[in-house]
């Protein structure tokens, strides 16, 4: 099938259109619209992942392999096999990975099953990661480039998704972990105005505040030191091989790591324009005013990073659960309806419990890419897949996942 977009024609494979450029960007520069192409572009394979080191989440999710390249700003679109005359609701998914790993092109996030079962259009997005996406070191890089990439992708969806049968006026943006924290930032960013009307926040590390610019610049200078560069030679960052940048990024992460601190050295920076200093208190004040929100956490979030025990429980509560409940209260004050859930299932005897990322296979619904995931232990109950997808689909179509919305009188979250 051939689809006509603003940049040119695309030839997909069945109902999938993969590796579509939505923007381009020079190193440390903001994204620009993707240049148009003349001939029909083949859209049969996902584009390269953003440059990244190995993920620390491999211990629970297993490994994923995909070509990497700086020219990585692409997205993937799935639509149902048969679509009616009416435009379909759209789900745009932003992957997690601590702002340092992941790709919307990984098999884990294939939208084929969800699009078919949910009668929707599913979009997954690549965005820049690590130092290449979040280094704050003026004048070389202003930071938050990965978040600007996400905004550019959402604008592409608004302008092009109708050609795939999607409704640009019915866009739900969903994200997990760093992807969810990005959405939380967009809930108060004027740049997100008109780009989505519902949001799904999965395992949002809202207890990990954005860096203030001074701290971010300090880390940028520490990064230069690891690379053996004096501050006066910071412009050399534009020329160094990607492998050198990634090696130094990993070393800096080790140097700055602290027990119980899940924040990476490169992440969101409170610039006062795109990212607020207090994302929880600012939610609902920007372009996503009155957006409906579905959000939740897994029971043992931090068991993906630490052994189950006191440290894991403390991090789960302080980084994920308590800030989420505070966010629900803030949203309620501002008229943003919110529905909360807790994902508690895990294989019997699993050392990871209901850890960070364990709900993802049930959202996307295809067991094949997850067969080697240690957190699942070879299990993925079909009944639970159906239950989770029913909730996500109901929220996308009707703003109703199937349970009562959160109220200030509720002491815990349920589903």
Q: Which of 166, 51, 63, 40 is nearest to 111 (CA)?
A: 166
Strand 136-137 to 23-24 pairing: unpaired
Q: At what angle do helices 213-226 and 242-256 cross, to 10 degrees?
A: 120
Cβ atoms 396, 93 nearer than 8 A: no
Distance, CA of 237 to CA of 250 (rounded, Å): 16
Given the residues 95, 136, 346, 356, the one annotated as active site: 356
Write a three-state SS string for 95-164: CCCCCCCCCCCCHHHCCHHHHHHHCCEEEEECCCCHHHHHCEECCCEECCHHHHHHHHHHHHHHHHHHHH
Given the residues 74, 103, 110, 177, the one annotated as active site: 177
Residue 301 falls in the annotated catalytic set: yes
Helices first, then strands: H and E counts in the chain: 12, 15
Strand 292-298 to 338-343 pairing: parallel
Distances (CA, A) of 91 to 45, 122, 126, 396: 20, 5, 15, 7
Cβ atoms 262, 305 nearer than 8 A: yes
Residue 356 falls in the annotated catalytic set: yes
For the purposes of burial, counting CB atoms within 10 Å of the CB of 121, is it exposed (0-12), middle (13-18) or buried (19 or more)?
Answer: buried
Residue 29 falls in the annotated catalytic set: no
Distance, CA of 341 to CA of 326 (rounded, Å): 14
Given the residues 301, 312, 346, 359, the one annotated as active site: 301
Largest Cα span, the chain: 60
The three-class DSSP label of residue 187 is coil
Strand 32-33 to 41-42 pairing: unpaired
Return the ∠ at Cα 41 (arms to 166 and 9), rounded to 5°.
Answer: 50
For 3, phi then psi, to 5°, come to -120, 140
Residues labelled catalytic: 177, 301, 356
């Amino acid at each position: 099938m051939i689809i006509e977009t603003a940049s040119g024609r695309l030839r997909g494979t069945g109902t999938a259109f993969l590796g579509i450029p939505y923007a381009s960007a020079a190193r440390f520069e903001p994204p620009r619209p993707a240049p148009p192409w003349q001939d029909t572009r083949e859209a049969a394979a996902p584009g390269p992942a953003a440059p990244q080191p190995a993920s620390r989440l491999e211990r629970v999710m297993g490994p994923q392999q995909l070509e990497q390249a700086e020219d990585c700003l692409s997205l993937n679109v799935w639509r149902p096999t048969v679509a009616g005359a009416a435009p379909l609701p759209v789900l745009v998914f932003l992957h997690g990975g601590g702002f340092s790993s992941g790709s919307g092109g990984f098999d884990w996030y294939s939208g084929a099953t969800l699009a078919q079962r949910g009668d929707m259009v599913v979009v997954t997005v690549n965005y820049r990661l690590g130092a290449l996406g979040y280094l704050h070191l003026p004048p070389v890089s202003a930071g938050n480039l990965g978040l600007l990439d996400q905004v550019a992708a959402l604008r592409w969806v608004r302008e092009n998704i109708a050609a795939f049968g999607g409704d640009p006026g019915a866009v739900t943006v969903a994200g997990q972990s760093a992807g969810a924290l990005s959405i939380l930032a967009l809930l108060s960013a004027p740049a997100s105005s008109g780009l989505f009307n519902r949001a799904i926040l999965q395992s949002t590390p809202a207890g990990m505040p954005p860096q203030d610019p001074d701290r971010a610049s300090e880390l940028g200078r520490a990064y230069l030191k690891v690379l053996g560069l004096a501050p006066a030679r910071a412009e050399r960052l534009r020329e160094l091989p990607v492998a050198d940048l990634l090696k130094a990024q990993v070393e800096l992460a080790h140097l700055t790591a602290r027990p119980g601190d899940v924040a990476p050295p490169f992440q969101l920076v409170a610039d006062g324009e795109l990212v607020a200093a207090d994302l929880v208190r600012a939610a609902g004040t920007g372009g996503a005013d009155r957006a409906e929100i579905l959000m939740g956490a897994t029971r043992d979030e931090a068991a993906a990073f630490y052994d189950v025990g006191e440290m894991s429980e403390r991090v789960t509560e302080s980084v994920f659960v308590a800030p989420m409940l505070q966010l629900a209260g803030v949203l309620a004050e501002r008229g943003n309806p919110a529905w909360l859930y807790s994902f508690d299932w895990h294989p019997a005897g699993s050392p990871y419990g209901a850890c960070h990322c364990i709900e993802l296979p049930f959202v996307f619904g295809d067991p094949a890419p997850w067969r080697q995931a240690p957190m699942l232990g070879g299990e993925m109950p079909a009944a639970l897949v159906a239950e989770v997808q029913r909730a996500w689909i109901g929220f996308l179509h009707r703003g109703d996942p199937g349970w009562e919305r959160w109220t200030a009188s509720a002491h815990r979250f349920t589903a």
